[in-house]
Amino acid sequence: MLTTIWLIITALIFGAVMEATDLLDTLAARILRFVRSTGSLIAATLATSFGVNVLASDQYIAIVLPGRMFRSEYERRALDPKNLSRTLEDSGTLTSVLIPWNTCGAFMAQTLGVSTLAYAPFAIFNLINPFIAALYGFLHISIAPLPATKDQPPDDEIVESRTKGK
């Protein structure tokens, strides 16, 4: 158990160094060059979260780093933060148990007494959900816009006020 804790601490230090040296902004800018739509933004978030899961070996980093990388882009596109949260959950959390060297995969393998690759084919939800999340993004299913603020009326009120003036 102590080795898992050390792995988590090391991964968090890695994330802090990446953020302090502005590597996150540089990486996000390169990834966002390929993003053209809401669906591609969600796919990029899913892929980045999974990639960080593989490289950093920690679920927490796979959620926090992409979240910080893409938060401003979700805001710029007027997407509710719950879209980003859900996307990070769909990839960062669910795929972590499928990676043998990830802290979650190592914990599950040790607890269950079964190798990660042995139970992975039976983790259907974990395998399929990132693809469903990407499909939802491209089809704009359950993609929430930013809620209207007190200063700004909801979109339907804006449309009504414009049509009344005609």
Q: Can you spell out the DSSP letters for 79-135?
A: B-HHHHHHHHIIIIITTGGG-TTSHHHHHHHHHHTS-HHHHGGG-HHHHHHHHHHHH
pLDDT at 161: 47
Beta bridge partners of 79: 145
Number of domains in the chain: 1
Q: Which domain holds residue 157?
A: 2-164
Q: Which residues of the chain have pLDDT under 70?
A: 1, 4, 150-166
Which phi and psi angles does 145 have, rounded to 5°?
Answer: -75, 165
pLDDT at 3: 72
* pTM given for the model: 0.81
Contact 126, 99 (CB under 8 A): no
Separation in Å, CA 60 to CA 29, 50, 77, 132? 22, 12, 25, 22
Q: What tokens appear for 54 in the block?
A: 């593989």
pLDDT at 58: 86
pLDDT at 138: 97
Q: Cα torsion for 59, 109, 131, 80, to the nearest 10°?
A: -30
The letter for the amino acid at 59 is Q
Contact 111, 24 (CB under 8 A): no
Burial class (CB in 10 A: 0-12, 13-18, 19+), 62: buried
